[in-house]
Amino acid sequence: MQNYQDAMAICRWAGFPDLFITFTVNPKWPEMTRFLEARQLRIEDRPDIVTRIFKMKIDLLIKDIRKEEIFGSVKAVLYTIEFQKQGLPHAHILVFLANKDKLSTAKDIDNIISAEIPDKEAQPELHDVVVNYMLHGPCGIANPHSPCMDKGICTKQFPKNFNSTTVIHEDGYPRYKRKDNGVHVMKNGIPLDNRYVIPYNITLLLKYGAHINVERCNQGDSIKYLFKYVNKGYDRVTAAFYTQADDVSEGLVHDEIKMFFDCRYVSSCESVWRILGFDINYRNPFVERLSFHLPNHQMVVFEENEDLQDVMSRNNGKPTMFEAWFIANAKYENAKGLTYSEFPMKFTYHKDTCEWTPRKKGFSIERMYYTPPGSGESYYLRMLLATIKGPTSYKSLRTVNGVYHNSFRDACYALGLLDDDKEYTDAILEAA
């Protein structure tokens, strides 16, 4: 859930994503084959090699997107790693482009996305990688037993229609240029033409030599698709245990519920990925999670067997992140013009010294922890934090136009935040 909310904070700041990229590991990468063949091993024998190489590839891919700007200036990048039941990882990536590089026209899309089989004579290398990695099927009538088939229909909607030009449909999805030029290749004895080409970017495909599907996003739907993977939880496996028939004849009673075990499925590559501490979910820019609390309601974390006296004295005299914000507002003049949610854009928090200091470079996106309307004073405190700039204490938060109020709720009423249902409506929309 934390990853979901952090990603939504980036979406709130950067707007809708522009590109949705799926990057899948290629078990025939030269680095892998050289290593395995020299030792007469199979790919399933060394998941650590697969994992390390894919991590290097995904890091380089993100660098190409952010630093090299192969798609243009980038505001933010998100990705999540998924591990297939076959054990090989792939990444789902969302790219948020700057306003000047948005893919607003068909020409913009054609500049970075292709969906046709290249000419074998003019572009032999590109032709080979497209044929090897970017053709779907065969499926449909030619191969009704393909894994993508469901009730006689391809779940990926292949084959697509021929299009002489790229068109942005009214549903937000582009119909990529797929000319009916008679070009086709044979796969499993079946001819496949441009209707079976998975959209790709020429630069990435030639550089990485793997399945890299690049799609122009349909705004909100792409966010839902990625977040489905972020929040779907672990892969599961159900195991059943059975008894011998002799036990039944002897009148033994068996609990049919306990005979089944719902277990977490972890592939070898996922195990290595987690052991090495690689990110499952990646976000750039960084999201600063802003905690807050009512007076004397600081959160204290401790182990079950810790001495209570040590727990009480651990943070004695040290301010929390929220209390350090009050101190910074009193210390720095430019802090007085910022709300709590705006603070990370200009200041950075140091956990070791428990203080906020002005940023020397970069910035961070904020996300205040969500508080439901039924939580009472905490909800009204959060409402004030999104409105009031530069308070130096809880008392100044409750003071409106020189009048001190006994509760945060009364202060919200004095500010006119509760005169109608707007704040409640916003809270419901935020939760949704």
In terms of domains, do 320 and 384 share one? Answer: yes
Bridge partners of 95? 19, 77
Q: What is the pLDDT of residue 23?
A: 94
Q: Is residue 221 part of a domain?
A: yes
Q: Are residues 276 and 303 in the same domain?
A: no
**Same structural domain, 294 and 158:** no
In a domain, 370, yes or no: yes
DSSP states of 198-261 as a string? PPB-HHHHHHH-S-EEEEE--THHHHHHHHHHHHS---EEEEE----HHHHHTT----TTTTEE
Query: Are 330 and 211 found together in one domain?
Result: no
For the entire predicted model, the pTM comes to: 0.78
pLDDT value for 280: 86
- For the chain, the residue count is 432
- Say if residue 279 is in the same domain as residue 325: no
In Å, what is the CA distance from 364 to each residue of 33, 101, 151, 335?
A: 41, 22, 48, 15
pLDDT score of 183 more than 80: yes
Closest CA to 129 of 58, 65, 197: 197
Band of residue 386 on the pLDDT scale cut at 50, 70, 90: confident
By the 8 A CB rule, do 18 and 216 touch?
yes
Of the residues 252, 284, 316, which one is the last residue of a structural domain? 284
pLDDT-derived band at 374 (thresholds 50, 70, 90) equals confident
**Residues 139 and 280 occupy one common structural domain:** yes
Please report how many Cα atoms fall inside a 13 Å half-sphere around the Cα of residue 407, on the Cβ side.
Answer: 8
User: 304 and 193: one domain?
Assistant: no
Domain membership of residue 250 (yes or no) is no
Query: Domain range for residue 48?
Result: 2-233+266-284
Percent of the chain scoring above 90 in pLDDT: 27
Has residue 257 been placed in a domain?
no
| Per-residue pLDDT, 304 | 82
pLDDT at 156 over 60: yes
211 and 321 share one domain: no
Residue 319: inside a domain: yes
Indicate left, alpha or beta for 286 from its phi (over 0: left) and psi (-120 to 50: alpha). beta
Per-residue model confidence as pLDDT tens digits over 96-135: 998 888 888 889 999 999 999 999 999 999 999 999 999 9
Q: Are 275 and 161 members of one domain?
A: yes
d(CA 126, CA 200): 11
From 258, 284, 310, give the residue that closes a domain. 284
**What SS3 class is residue 197?**
strand
Across all residues in the chain, what is the average pLDDT?
A: 83
Other CB atoms within 10 Å distance of the CB of residue 350: 10
The answer, yes or no, to whether residue 392 has pLDDT greater than 70, is: yes
What distance in Å separates the CA atoms of residue 410 and residue 420, rounded to the nearest whole number? 14
- Helix and strand element counts for the chain (H, E): 16, 19
pLDDT in tens, 231-278: 555 565 555 555 555 554 555 565 666 566 666 778 888 889 999 999
Same-domain pairing of 199 and 214: yes
Domain count, the chain: 2
Angstrom distance (rounded) from CA 71 to CA 207:
15
Residues 395 and 382 in one domain: yes
What pLDDT is stored for residue 237 in this prediction?
56
| 167 close to 106: Cβ distance less than 8 angstroms | yes
Shared domain for 345 and 274, answered yes or no, is no
Residues 401 and 380: their CA atoms lie apart, in Å, by 18
Does residue 321 lie in a domain region? yes
Spatial separation of the C-alpha atoms in residues 208 and 59, rounded to whole Å? 12
DSSP string across 90-104? EEEEEEEE-GGG---
Is 252 domain-assigned? no
Please tell me what DSSP assigns to residue 265. Answer: -
Instruction: Report the distance separating Cα 57 and Cα 344, nearest Å.
Output: 31
Give residue-wise pLDDT tens across range 25-69.
998 999 999 999 999 998 888 999 999 999 999 999 999 999 999
Residue 419 placed within a domain: yes
Least confident of 20-24, 281-285, 331-335: 281-285
pLDDT at 217 over 70: yes
3-state secondary structure 334-362: HHCCCCHHHHHHHEEEECCCCEEEECCCC
Place of tokens 């905490």: 378
| Confidence band of 364 (pLDDT split at 50, 70, 90) | confident
